[in-house]
Structure 1
Amino acid sequence: MTTAAAPPARGLSTLVLAVSLLVVAANLRPTLTALGPVITLVGAGTGLSPAALGVLGSVPLLAFAAVSPFVQLLSRRWGPDHTVFGATIVMLSATVVRSLPGAPGSSLTLWAGTIALGAGIAVCNVLVPALVKRDFPREVPLMTGAYTATLSLSAALASGLALPIAERGGWRLGIGTWALVGVLVLVTWWPRLRGHDRDVAVPGPTVGAPPRSGASVWRSPLAWQVTAFMGTQAIFFYLMVTWLPSIEVARGVTPVRAGWDLFLFQVTGIAGGLLVSLAMRGRRDHRLAGVGVSVGMAVSMLGLLLLPGLDALWLVVAGLCSGASLVVALTFVAERSRTTADAAGLSGMVQSVGYLLGIIGPIGAGALFQATGGWATTLVAVIGVNLVQLVVSLFAGRDAYVER
């Protein structure tokens, strides 16, 4: 057994580390959530069908699934801090590319940029939980809550502002404006490149950890349970951010109001994430948190289905529980791992398979709407997903470690 490597944060204060992580969080969702409010404009401008638009909304999730297993290899080669910086450059470039006009009737730049954007986000998705565990080992739930709160706030702002921006400058500007956040990430992350060693990726096993079996994390039942929880919450979130404005418009809500309803859903996720992070702080058994958010999500969908006149209430409930469920999922990744290396390995698996499952949300909803002409079937299906998440949380939330 070896001692844990010291966090390679030479000369960097806790504040610098925290701010840089939070700015990264602010860059991971606006380019995705800005699509939902303008998705009808994208369809009109490109000729894409509802089913094709559902696939477009799922492309980043496909990229998450394809890229995530290989992120740890990049981290070992370049170090996690340099890898995040490189991924941010890719994301910035991709956001610009997918906003560029292509040939008349062509959506090539839109698809290519979206694929590259998903790949860049995937790298940060995997490495941030490991960086949180490395830089803030005693405050994992609290820092995870702050991280996801920032993520939710930026996602909410993009949802609310995308359509007003698009009405003045076109849908390409509505989804391309968020490249500015990528520039801010590069500025705030730069001190890490000078204060961290490139060749240090993740620490080794900690003192007192039991001998490692050498088995892959993919063989661990607990790892699959954590992955299933991530997948079910991803189905819910990405279905909502892609199709909630369309669901609202189908009920007679104006497109601008629908965009702000999506903002409401996501901004309440900030409070949900912070509240659940405080509730889990100092605890190792997180089953109650997992069950609570799952029940709340199911109740919100049932409310939308049976009492649509109280949409605002149900969206607040859905937002609180969705934001909390992401914090729970990321906390599972960190707290079910003995070391930072384990957290990075588990994160790669969880992000890959979890977001692959998440694809079911946008694609399935688009296909169901196209087949039925309404959204009731979709809401019933989502309730089923929430109940599956509830059962999974009883296993993933146990006080246990993923063994390899």
Structure 2
Amino acid sequence: MPSTTAAAHHAHRSTRHPALLVAGILLIAASLRAPITALGPLLEPVRQSFALNASQAGLLTTLPLLAFALVSPAAASVAHRHGLERTLFVSLLLLVAGIALRSAGSAWALYAGTCVIGGAIAIANVLLPSLLKRDFPRQVAKLTAGYALSMIAAAGLVSAVAVPIDRALGAGWPASLATVALLPLAAALLWLPQLRSRTVSTPGLADGLAHASVWRAPLAWQVAAYLGLTCFIYFAAIAWLPAILQQAGDSSARAGALHGWMQLAGAVPALLMMPLLQRLPDQRLLAFAAPALGAVGLAGLIALPALAPVWVFAFGMGMGAALILSLAFVGLRAGHQRTAASLSGMSQCIGYLFAALGPILVGDLHERLGSWNLPLAACLLLCLAMCALGLSVGRARHIGP
């Protein structure tokens, strides 16, 4: 016999407009990478403004990842108390505030705003998979690919236009970085109707047994490791690819365009993987092939940098596919919504703690050696490690009931 809470939850779902809900999810997703990736093409003028060394500059990409790791475990509990809808709305408002603070023009605001941005994104990162598991349990893979596509496309577009917008506005990098606030602001406005029909309490999000079992499950640690390796490599590239390309002889505008090209390349596997994730018996082939393609792109940048557009596209496709899989594994490997919420928080906590090292270590390695070849080779080896891990985490298994 269904409980009162379950009945209320069912009534809540029946009053939703699915198309409006999906549109809101996609626009929220579009806001979850662009505020971070917008910084990459403008990192050199930011460094010049405050005389930052490579480690200090890398910290601007690392801080959001640390915020992901620290805030992610608490997101499910906050949503349990206040409801998924209201918590997601507040995260969008925090994101707008963080972008505004980062663009204030001072060094302390730059770093403080970056921390707020990371915390706001962390909340939505954790809650979107749980929302999909709750409201669209039979379409998790397809909608995960859809929101990953929205996230990747927005991030690529923002990266590609960051330098042209900077030049067009003529007001320096703070004005260009501030324009990205339009995405979460639009998402918050579109999300307003969801607040009228929000759940007072989201069933299962704070289940202590599910939370404990996730931390004891080897499969959960594999999901976390796959996410961590993906984001270590991907966010290192987001931080340093424009600098890598400029050292190879490209202009700042071309480097920024290729930075966006790398991220837009991730839209290709997002489109292809929507049907594949539904039809394949497991994800082993995809989880192996994605980092393998990323490794090909890195090897090409080392051996033949003149063909950078080809290698950047290959890398973007491979790591974009790996990012989609990392997100999808939360829903695909969880046996229940409460497990999905706990797995999402746990995997993002562990995964992003590791990923936070990427921009700093890669930048520091380059500064010590004066060359990008060894940092690129190190990331290539991590891609190969992901290939081996993918053969295990890609098997069709579940955590929890």
- State the TM-score bracket (shorter-chain normalisation): over 0.9
TM-score (norm 2): 0.94
Distance 1:282 1:193 in 2: 35
CA-to-partner distance for each residue in 1:336-385, whole Å, 9 max, x for gaps?
11111110000001111111111122111110111000100011000111
Correspondences of 1:164-183 after superposition (within 5 Å):
164-167=164-167, 168-183=170-185
Match of 1:94 among 85, 94, 98: 98
2:108 alignment partner AA: L
1:45 to 1:198, Cα distance in 2 relative to 1, 3 A? same
1:198 lines up with 2:204 in the alignment:
no
- Tell me how far 1:2 sits from its aligned partner: 7.0
CA-to-partner distance for each residue in 1:294-336, whole Å, 9 max, x for gaps?
1111111111111212111111111111111111111111011
1:82 lines up with 2:86 in the alignment:
yes
2:297 alignment partner AA: S
1:35 to 1:204, Cα distance in 2 relative to 1, 3 A? closer
1:134 lines up with 2:131 in the alignment:
no
Distance 1:214 1:63 in 2: 20
Correspondences of 1:284-299 after superposition (within 5 Å):
284-299=281-296
Distance 2:14 2:86 in 1: 15
- Tell me how far 1:199 sits from its aligned partner: 2.1
CA-to-partner distance for each residue in 1:34-83, whole Å, 9 max, x for gaps?
10100010011112111110112110000000111111110111011111
- Tell me how far 1:162 sits from its aligned partner: 1.2
Match of 1:22 among 6, 22, 26: 26
Identity of aligned residues (%): 34
Correspondences of 1:46-61 after superposition (within 5 Å):
46-61=50-65
Do the aligned residues in 1 keep the contact of 2:130 with 2:341 (CA within 8 Å)?
A: yes
Correspondences of 1:5-404 after superposition (within 5 Å):
5=6, 6=9, 8-102=12-106, 107-167=107-167, 168-202=170-204, 215-403=212-400
Residue 209 (structure 1) aligns with: none
What's the RMSD between the two structures over aligned residues? 1.9
Mean alpha-carbon deviation: is it higher for 282-291 or for 362-371? Answer: 282-291
CA-to-partner distance for each residue in 1:282-305, whole Å, 9 max, x for gaps?
345111110010111111111111
Distance 1:67 1:157 in 2: 27
TM-score (norm 1): 0.94
CA-to-partner distance for each residue in 1:122-181, whole Å, 9 max, x for gaps?
000000111111121111111111101100111011101111222322111121111111
Distance 1:230 1:286 in 2: 15
Do the aligned residues in 1 keep the contact of 2:298 with 2:376 (CA within 8 Å)?
A: yes
1:149 alignment partner AA: L
1:19 alignment partner AA: A
Residue 208 (structure 1) aligns with: none
Do the aligned residues in 1 keep the contact of 2:210 with 2:342 (CA within 8 Å)?
A: no
Do the aligned residues in 2 keep the contact of 1:204 with 1:339 (CA within 8 Å)?
A: no
- Tell me how far 1:215 sits from its aligned partner: 4.0
- Tell me how far 1:203 sits from its aligned partner: 7.2
Do the aligned residues in 1 keep the contact of 2:58 with 2:360 (CA within 8 Å)?
A: yes
Mean alpha-carbon deviation: is it higher for 249-258 or for 7-16? Answer: 7-16
- Give the structure with the larger helix fraction: 2
| Structure 1 segments unaligned to the other structure (5+ residues) | 206-211
Q: How many correspondences in the alignment? A: 394
